[in-house]
Structure 1
C-alpha cells in the first residue's frame, strides 16, 4: 500500500479512505444476510453451507465467499473448514438479528436495504438540488403519506422504528427521574414502544401514546402484548392540526428531525402549551455535538433527512436550547442514552 512519511513520527496511508470508500460492500453483505433471514435460520443451530444453500434457496457460486465474509466481519462464527464446516451466529447477531426475538433490530436494516440503499445512490443530486430522492422524486406522495396509506408498509415502518429505538427508550425510562410526575404523553407514539418502557419501569405513571388513527391498532396490540393496557391509553390526532394532550411529561422519539425549522418550532411551542409549570419536554434523537465534529451518525442521519424529506434535518443541543428558550422553556438538560443517541430535556 502507498504510504507517505510526513515526519519521523507521522505516517499517512490511504487505508481509511479505501475502507470507507468501499464500506458499501460490507454494508450490502450484512443487509442481504438480514433480508435473507440468514441469522434467523442460524438461530436454530449451526449449519453447513450446503444446508444454508438448500434452506434459503441460494446458488453455490458466491455462497462460501458470502458466508466467510460475514465470518471475517464478525457477524458469524465458522467451525472447521471445507464442505463440512458449520456456520453459526455470533452472540451479537443472535441477540439482535434473529427475527423471532423481541430485541430484533433487523426491521430497520430491512428498510435500509429495501428503501434507503437505492435512494442514497442519488446523494449528489440531493446536495445539488436540495430535494428528496425517495418516492417523491418520481411524483409519488411523501413518505409518511405513502406509509400511512399502506397497512403492511406502516407495520414494517413502525416495527423498524421501534426496534432501533428500543435501547434508547429503555435507557431513558431507567435514567429519567419520574418521581415528581404522574402523566406522560408520547407525541408520534407509533407502536407505543416508549410508553411501554415507561410503564414497565414506573408503575405509577399513566401514559398516552398519541399518533394518527392508522397507527392505533398497532399500538393497541403492542400494549396488550406487554400487559400494560391499564396504564397506557391510545389516542389519535395530528400534531399539525390538533393541540397536544395535556401531560406532565411530553416526549418525541425521532420526530422533531423529520421537519423543517418552522415546523420544529411549532411542535416545540405546542409541547410548551400542553405542559404544566415544571413539566418536561423530551426529544430523543441522534443529537449532533455542538462542534459538529464527533457524532458522525447524527450528521449522516441528517443527510438521510435530506434524502427522505423536504425540510427535515438533525440538530445540535445548542440549536435545541435556542428553540426551546424562544418558546418559553426555562432550561435544558442533556442525557446520553445508547450509542449516538441522547435525550434533550426542556423544563417549563
Structure 2
C-alpha cells in the first residue's frame, strides 16, 4: 500500500471560517452606513479616530474598531492617523451621489437580514419570511410607506449600476421605444435614455409604484422622454404595445416557471418584427452549481417569494424559443444586479 505523500497539505477549516463569519463583514459595513460614517468623510474629508468619535457621538473604543473594520474591507483609506473614504465608498456610499448604493444595503439590513434568521423554517415550509402569504398577494403588495421606500430605494441602487453596465454590452441604437416591465423606480429607462438620446421609454408597474417612478423621472429631468403606466403584468391579459424593446430586469426570478413562461409569451405578442426582450439576471450555470452570486440570490428568493428561484441562461433560452422568439443570444454582464443578459429576438 503506497505511503501518503509527505507534501500533502492538511485539510483545514479556513474556508469554513470565512463562510461562518461572513455576517461580520456585512454588519460592520451596514453599521458604518447607518451611523453616517461615509457621509461624515465625504468630499475628501479626513479625520482621526478621536475626531470621528466626537463627530459620531460614540466612544473611542467602538470608533477605533469600526474604522479598522471598514479599512480592512476596503471602504476606508488611512494616511498617518487620519481616515478617509476609499474611492469605492466615496462613489457609492455617500448620500446624494448619483449612483448611491446605500439603499440596497439598508434594505438588506433592515428587511432581509432578519428574515434570514428563519432560513431553516423557510427550507422546511417552502414559504417566504419577508411578507405573509394569505394576507398579502406578494412581497410587492404593501401599503406601508417605509417598507415601500426601503424596497424601491434598494432596487434603484441595484438597478442603476446594472443599467449602466447593460448599456455597455447591448447597443440600443436600432430601437426607439423601450418598455420596462416591472420597472419599479425607473432606473433602467433613466440610465438608458441618458445614454441613448434617441430612445423614449415607459415604466410598466403596479399603480402605487408609478408615483415613485415619476418622482425619479422628474429628478432626472426626463419628463417627456420617460413615463410610467400602471398595470399588472401577471393579471393583465396583454402588455402595452408600440415598443420594440422590452426589459425584464430581476423580474423572472421572482416567480415560478409557469408564471415566467406566461410573461414571455405576453412579451412576444407585444413585440413587432425586429423587436427584442432583454432578460437581465444573475444567471446560474447550466449545471446549477454556481456562480455563488446567482445561487445565493436563489436562496434569497426562498425567503422573499413563494415560487421564485434563479435560473440558467439555458432555461431562459428554452422558454424564449417556446414562446415564439426566433433566436436567443447571451451576453455576459459585469454588474451588481446581473451577470448576463439573455436576448430573445423576434424574427
The verdict on a shared fold, with TM-score over 0.5 as the criterion, is: yes
Residue 22 (structure 1) aligns with: 21
Aligned mate of 2:240, from 241, 245, 250: 245
Structure 1 equivalent of residue 38 of structure 2:
39
Give the drift of 1:344.
Answer: 0.9
Distance in 1 between residues matched to 2:326 and 2:195, nearest whole Å: 27
How far residue 239 of structure 1 moved from its aligned partner, in angstroms, is: 0.9
Select the residue among 188, 204, 221 that pairs with 1:227: 221
Among candidates 338, 341, 344, match of residue 346 of structure 1 = 344
- For normalisation by structure 1, the TM-score amounts to 0.91
- Deviation string 1:203-223 (CA, Å, 9 cap, x unpaired) is 222211111121222222222
Partner of 2:126: 130
Separation of aligned partners in 2, 1:103 and 1:214: 24
1:263 counterpart = 2:259: yes
**1:73 offset after TM fit, Å?**
2.1
TM-superposed deviation, 1:160:
1.4
* Structure 1 residues 155 and 252: alpha-carbon distance in aligned structure 2, compared to 1, 3 A threshold: same
Query: Which TM-score applies when normalising by structure 2?
Result: 0.91
Q: Which is further off, 207-216 or 48-57?
A: 48-57
Q: Deviations over 1:67-126 (max 9, x none)?
A: 21212222112333xxxx322111111111111211111110111111111111221221
Question: How many Å separate the matches in 1 of 2:83 and 2:166?
Answer: 36
Conserved 8 A contact 1:210-1:235: yes
Describe how 1:63-212 pairs up with structure 2 within 5 A. 63-80=63-80, 85-136=81-132, 142-146=138-142, 149-212=143-206
CA drift of 1:336 comes to 1.6
CA RMSD of aligned residues (A): 2.1
Identify unmatched segments of 5+ residues in structure 2: none
Ranges in structure 1 where 5+ consecutive residues have no aligned partner: none
Change in CA separation of 1:204 and 1:16 when aligned onto 2, cut-off 3 Å: same
Q: Which runs of 4+ in 1 moved over 6 A?
A: 137-141
Q: Secondary structure at the match of 1:235?
A: strand
Matched, 1:310 2:306: yes
